[in-house]
Amino acid sequence: MNFWLLVVVKVLVVAGAVMLPGALLVIFGELKISAHMQSRIGPYFAGGRFGWAQPLADGLKFMQKEDLVPAAADARVYRLAPYIVLISTVAIYVIIPFGPDLTARDLDLGVFFLLAVSSLSTLGVLMAGWSSGNKYSLMGGLRAAAQLIAYELPMVLAVVAVAVQAGTLSLGGIVQAQAHTELFGANIHLPYLITGQLLGFLIFTTASLAELARIPFDMPIAESELTMGYLTEYSGLRFTMFFLGEYAGMVAFTAIAATLYLGGWWLPGLSPEAGYMNVVGPIVLVTKVLLLSFLFIWFRWTWPRLREDQLQTLAWKWLIPLSLANIVGTALFKVIM
Amino acid sequence: MTESPSEAPAAAAAVAERFAGIVGSDDWSADFATPKVRVPRDGWIAAHAAAKEHAPFFSWLSAVDWSSEVAVGDPPEGEVESRFEVLSCLGDLDGNFVLLSTDLPKDDAVLPTLVDTFGGANWHEREAAEMFGIVFDGHPQLTHLYLTDEFEGYPLRKTFPLLTREVKPWPGTVDVEGMPGATGPSTENVEAAAMEGGEE
Amino acid sequence: MTTRLDPTVAMHLSDAAVSVELETPEMTLNIGPQHPSTHGVLRLVAKVDGERVDSVEPVIGYMHRGYEKLAEVRTYAQITALINRIDWVSGFCNEVPFVIAVERLMGIEAPERAQYIRLILAEMTRISSHLLFMSSYPLELGAPTPLMYALREREHVMDLIEGVTGGRFHPNFNRVGGVKPAAGGGSSTKKVVQDLPSGFFDGTRRAMDRVDLVCDELDTLVTGNELFRARTVGVGIIPPDKALAYGVSGPNLRASGVGFDLRKHEHILPYDDIEFEIPVGRNGDCFDRFVVRLQEIRQATRIVRQAVDRIPAGPLQAKVPRILKVPQGQCYVRAENPKGEMGYFVVSEGGRIPYRVKIRSASFSNLSILPWILAGQLIPDLVAIMGSLDFVLGDVDR
C-alpha cells in the first residue's frame, strides 16, 4: 500500500478507533465507579438507563461553548498549549502492541520514543499555566512543571530495568520476551510483574499517576486551592482537549504498564505464535487496561492529595533511589541467572 | 437541672466581688447573673493586666452608646448620662466570666489599646472603632474591618439612622458593569428599571 | 461579545505583567472572596513567595448584615427570627443564648420539657454542623468521598429537625419562655397545642445509630488514612495560651489541650443530668481539630439518646404576656455553639425593643488568629488550616 495512505489509515485507526473510544469508556467508568463509591448513582439519564451517552453529551456541550481567550493571556501560546498536550498523548499509541502484528509502528526504540514523547506534555502544561495571564494558573503551571519533571526520572529508571531484563527497547519485543523467557529452565512463562519487577511496577504506577496529575498527585490542578490550576482559564473545546488528553493518557499509560509488566496482549498459557492471538490479544490488553484504570479511579476517590513538598520528597528521596536499586538488582539477576 | 434564677445571681455576685478585688475597684454589680466591674479610664490597661492571670480567655470587646436622644429605636427609660461605655468580657477556665467596663465622654472617645495584653483585642477594637468612632491609642492598624473604606459615619451610634435604599444609595453600585448598549453603570434598582422599561 | 486584542499587543501586555512579577520574589495573591475553600466570602490578601506565604491580611465584611444595628429596631420576637441566620449551619443553636438572656431579664424560667427539647435540638444541630465539617474538610484536602458519606447521614438529622421546627437551617423555634408551643399563629391554630411530631423519638434513636455508623466509617476512611495524616499532623499548631488570648473557642480550643466546654459550666440547658465526655486534643494541629469534632459527634449522639429517654412531659412555653416588655437591665448569656462560644449581651431599657444587643460570635474570634498562624505556611497548608478552624462567614460578619 502507498506509504502515506498507510500512515493516514494508521493515524485514523489510532485516534479514532483506539484512543477516542478508550478515553470515552474510561470517562464513563470514572463517572459510574466514583458514583457508586460515593453511594450515588451517577449518570442515569443521557442515553437511557445507564447514562452511557453522558461523556458524549458532555463533549457536545463543551463544543458548543464560547471560544474564550482572556484579554491578558498570551493568545498564541494559549491556543497552542492544548494541542501539544493532546498530541504528545496520542503519539504514545503508535507503539502500543495490541497483538503480535497489531502495532501502528513497532519501533526498535519503542521505550525511548515513549518516554521522550510523553514528556512533551510537560511543556504543554507549562505553556498553559503561563499564558493564561492568571496567577492561579501560573502557580498551577509551575507546580506541574516541578512535579512532572520530578516524576519523569523514576518512570524512566523503572522502564530501564524492564529493558535490561528483556534485552530490547521495542515494546513488541518486551512482550515476546515475557512470553518466551523460561522460568528456572522449565517451560513456564510469567509476566515481569511476578518475575522480579514488582518494585518496578509499583514505581511505574506511582510515577504515571503523577504524570497524569491525578489524585493523590493533583497539585497542579488542586481544585480546592487553585480553582483548577493551569486549566482555570480554559473552557469549551480547548478544555475538552485537555480533558480528553488526561483520559487518553490514562489509557495509554495503563496500556504501557500492562505491556511492560503484565504481559501486554499475552496471557500465561496462551501461545504467542498462534493465529488467534491477533483477535484475542487486543481483548486481553483491553481487559488489563480496564483493570488498571479501575485501580487508578479507586485511588482518586479514596485518598486526599499530597502537598507539593511531600510529593517532591516522595519522588527524589524514595522513588529514585528505589528505582536505581531496582536496576542494579535486575542487572545482577540477569548476569547471575 | 438548670440553675434556678435564684441561685445564679449569688454565684455571679461572688465572681464579681472577686474580680473587683483583683482589678482594685469597688464598683461592681451582678444583676441577672452577669458579673460586671467598672474601672476608671486610666486604669483600663492595668485592670486587664491584673485580670489576665485569673481570666486568660479574651471573649469580646465592644461599646454601648448611651444617649437620651436616639435616631433609631426607643430612647432609654429615664435620663442617662451621654457617654460611650466600653465593655470587655474575659473568661476563666472554671466557667466564670466577668465584664469590665469603663466610661468615655463622647467628645473625647480615646482609650488605650489592649492589643499588647490580649492579642485578640485587635479585631474587636477595630470593629468598635469603626462602629462607634472610638479611637484606640496605640492600635497597629485601625482601618475599617466590616465597612468599606469610603463609608461615612459610625453606624452603631444612636445618632446614625437606618436609612432605606432610596435615601442613601448603596455604595456597591459602581462595581456593576452596564449591560451592552447601556451608557453607564446600571442603577441600583435593576428590577425597577427593568420594570419601568418593560411597562413603557 | 469577546474583545480580542491584537496578538502582538496582548503578547507585550502579558509580557510586561509577568516580567514585572518575575523580577520581584514576592507576589500578591488574592485568595477569594470567590474561592472554593474560603467557606464563604472571605478575602485573603496573601503575599506569597513561590509556595510560601509571607503574610496574610484577611478582608472581611462582605456579608456584614448589621445585626446589632438591626436589633435596635426590632422587637424581641422579631430578633429571634433573625438571629438563626448568623451561623446558618447551626441555626437552632444561635437562638438559644438570646432567648435565655431575655428570659433572665424578665425573670422567667422555661418549663423542663422545653429545656429538654432545646437540648435535643441543640445537640442535633451540633451533629449536623460537625458532619458538614466532616464532609467539606477532606474535600478541601482532595478526598471527595467522605463528603457523600457524611452528608447522607446528615440528611436524617436534618429531616428530624425539619419535622419538629419546620425549617432545616432557620428553625425559628425558640420563643421567650420556651419553645414554639402552638401549631402556629393565627386565631384558628393558636388554641391547638402541638407537641413534638409522633415518631420523633424512634426516628431520633434510629438516626443516632446511623450517625454512629458513619462516624466509624469516617474513622476508617479519613482518620486512619496515611495521606490525610501527612497533610494534617503537625500543621497549623495553635498553642493554648495564644488560643486563649485570641478568644479561640469550641473544638479549636479543645484541640489545643484546653479541656473547656461551656456545656459543663453554663447551666442554661439541663446538661447536668446527662453523662458525656469532652474530647480534648493534644497538639493543637489540624488533625486534632478534626478528631475532636469527630469525637464530639459521638458524644452528641450519646447526649441525645439520654435526653430522649429522660424528657419529661409538660408545657412547652411558660406564661408570657402577648406583647413582650422586658424590664430594664443588662444580661450576658453564652452557650457552646458548634463553632465555639456564642454569647448575647442584651441591654434593655424597658420596652419592646432592646437598647443594645452585642453578639459575640465564635467564628469572628476563631478567624482573628489567621494572620498569626498563616504567616510562613505553604499554600496547601493555608487551605488545610483555614478549613480546620471551621468558621462560617455569616458568623464572622454578622
Domain CATH for C107: 1.10.645.10
What are residue A2's phi and psi, to 5 degrees?
A: -55, 135
Residue B164 has pLDDT above 80, yes or no: no
Is the model more confident about B17 or about C13?
B17
Looking at residue A80, its amino acid is L
CA distance C332 to C342: 10
Residue C10 lies in a domain: no
Beta-carbon contacts of C157 under 8 Å, excluding residues fewer than 6 positions away, are C124, C127, C128, C131, C207, C211
Q: Which of these, B99, B119, B123, lies nearest to C344 by C-alpha position?
A: B99
More confidently predicted of C323 and B135: B135
DSSP code string of B52-93: HTT--EEEEEEEEEE-S--SSSPPPSS----EEEEEEEEE-T
Distance CA(A307)–CA(A160), nearest Å, equals 28
Q: Are B31 and C331 within 8 A, CB to CB?
A: yes
Chain-chain contact of C14 with A74 (C-beta, under 8 angstroms): yes
Quickly state the pLDDT bin for C344 (edges 50, 70, 90).
Answer: very high
> Does residue B195 surpass a pLDDT of 60?
no
Residue A294: its pLDDT value, please?
93
Residues 249-308 of C with CB under 8 A from B: 249, 258, 260, 262, 264-270, 272-273
> What whole-number distance in Å separates Cα of residue A8 and Cα of residue B9?
91
Residue range(s) defining the domain that contains residue C258: 67-397
Q: How many residues does chain A have?
A: 337
pLDDT band at B196 (very low <50, low <70, confident <90, very high): very low
Looking at CA atoms only, how far is residue A136 from chain C in angstroms?
8
pLDDT the model gives residue A142: 83
Look at A308 and C380 and tell me if their CB atoms are within 8 Å: yes
Q: Kindly state the average pLDDT of the residues C174-187.
A: 71
Strands (E), chain B: 28-29, 36-38, 57-66, 83-91, 97-104, 110-112, 135-137
Helices (DSSP H) in chain A: which residue ranges? 3-12, 20-37, 54-63, 75-90, 110-118, 120-131, 135-166, 171-180, 198-211, 223-226, 236-261, 277-302, 308-313, 320-336
Per-residue pLDDT of chain A (337 residues; tens, 9 = 90+): 688 898 888 888 887 888 888 888 899 999 999 999 888 888 888 887 788 888 888 888 988 988 888 888 888 899 899 999 888 888 888 888 888 888 888 888 888 998 898 888 889 888 988 888 887 788 888 888 888 889 999 999 999 999 988 888 888 888 888 888 777 766 777 777 777 788 999 999 999 998 888 878 887 776 556 677 788 888 888 888 888 888 899 999 999 999 999 888 888 877 777 778 788 888 889 999 999 999 999 998 888 888 888 888 999 999 999 999 999 998 988 888 7
User: Which long-range contacts does A122-127 make (Cβ < 8 Å, 24+ apart)?
Assistant: A122/A148, A122/A149, A122/A152, A123/A84, A124/A81, A124/A82, A124/A83, A124/A84, A124/A85, A124/A88, A125/A81, A125/A85, A125/A213, A125/A220, A125/A230, A127/A77, A127/A78, A127/A80, A127/A81, A127/A84
Task: Give the model's pLDDT for residue C193.
Answer: 64
Q: CA C84, C86, C90 angle in degrees (round to 5)? A: 60
Residue B178 scores a pLDDT above 60 = no
What's the CA gap between A104 and A114, in Å, rounded? 13
Domain boundaries, chain B: 7-162, 163-200
Question: Does residue C51 sit within a domain?
Answer: no
Q: What integer pLDDT is reported at residue C20 of this predicted model? A: 45
Instruction: Tell the residue number behind the cell numbers 485511588, with chain if given.
Output: A299
| Chain C, nearest residue to B63 by Cα | C358
What number of other Cβ atoms are within 10 A of residue C36's Cβ? 16
Chain C residues within 8 A of B139 when measuring between CB atoms = none
Sheet holding B97-104, edge to edge: B28-29, B36-38, B97-104, B83-91, B57-66
- Whether B71 contacts B160, CB under 8 Å: yes
- Pairing type for strands B36-38 and B97-104 reads parallel
Q: Hey, is the C-beta of A287 within 8 angstroms of any chain C C-beta?
A: no
Rounded Cα gap, residues A52 and A44, in angstroms? 8
DSSP string, C242-259: HHHHHT--THHHHHTT--
Which chain A positions have a beta carbon within 8 Å of C152's beta carbon?
39
The pairs formed by B179-182 with CB atoms below 8 angstroms and a separation of 24 or more are: B180/C1
> Has residue C18 been placed in a domain?
no
Give the CA angle between residues C90, C94, C97 to the nearest 5°: 145
Q: Which residue in B has a C-alpha nearest to residue C344's C-alpha?
A: B60
The mean per-residue pLDDT over the stretch C286-306 comes to 93
Q: For residues A47 and C111, which has the higher predicted lDDT (pLDDT)?
A: C111
Query: H-type helices in C247-348, by residue range?
Result: 251-255, 262-265, 286-310
pLDDT tens profile C65-93: 889 988 888 888 888 888 989 988 888 99
Average pLDDT over residues B8-14: 78
Residues 6+ apart with CB under 8 A from A262: A191, A192, A193, A288
The per-residue b/e assignment along C264-297, b for 16 or more CB within 10 angstroms, e otherwise, is ebbbbbbbeebebeebbbebbbbbbbbbbbbbbb
Q: Report d(CA A19, CA A248) in Å as an integer.
A: 6
Q: Could you tell me which chain B residue has the CA closest to the CA of C348?
A: B76
Q: Which residues of A fall within a CB distance of 8 Å from C8?
A: none
Confidence of residue C8 (pLDDT cuts 50, 70, 90): low
Contact between chains at C247 and B60 (C-beta distance less than 8 A): yes
B125: Cβ–Cβ under 8 A, 6 or more apart, which residues? B61, B113, B114, B115, B136, B139, B142
Domain span including residue A120: 3-336
Instruction: State the pLDDT at residue B31.
Output: 83
Q: What is the pLDDT of chain C when averaged over all its residues?
A: 85
**Span B98-140, pLDDT tens digits:** 999 999 898 888 899 988 888 888 899 999 999 998 998 888 8
Number of domains making up chain C: 1
pLDDT of residue C383: 86
Q: Which residues in A lie closer than 8 A to residue C228 (C-beta atoms)?
A: 303-304
CA distances to A126, A211, A228, C332 from A205, rounded to whole Å, are 23, 10, 24, 60
Average pLDDT on C296-309 reads 93
Mean pLDDT of B27-51: 88
How does the average pLDDT of chain B come out, rounded? 78
Letter string b/e over residues A137-175, b meaning 16 or more CB atoms within 10 A of that residue's CB: bbbbbbbbbbbbebbbbbbbbbbbbbbbbbebbbbbbbb
Across the interface, whether the CB atoms of C144 and A130 are under 8 A apart is answered no
Check C141 against A224: CB less than 8 A apart.
Answer: yes
**How many domains in chain A?**
1
Nearest beta carbon to residue C14 from set A40, A133, A310:
A133
pLDDT, mean of residues C212-228: 88
pLDDT value at position A143? Answer: 82
Task: Determine, yes or no, domain membership for C2.
Answer: no
Interface test mutation site (partner B, options C68, C258, C267, max chain B beta carbons within 10 A) = C267
In a domain, C6, yes or no: no
Count other Cβ atoms within 10 Å, centred on residue B29.
Answer: 17
Collect all residues of chain B within an 8 Å Cβ-Cβ radius of residue C272: 1-2
pLDDT in tens, C201-214: 899 999 999 999 99
CATH fold of B7-162, please? Beta Polymerase; domain 2 (3.30.460)
Instruction: Considering only residues C182 and B105, tell me which one the structure prediction assigns the higher pLDDT.
Output: B105
Question: Where residue C4 falls among pLDDT bands split at 50, 70, 90?
Answer: low
- Cβ C381–A37 below 8 Å, yes or no? no
**d(CA B119, nearest CA chain C) in Å:** 5
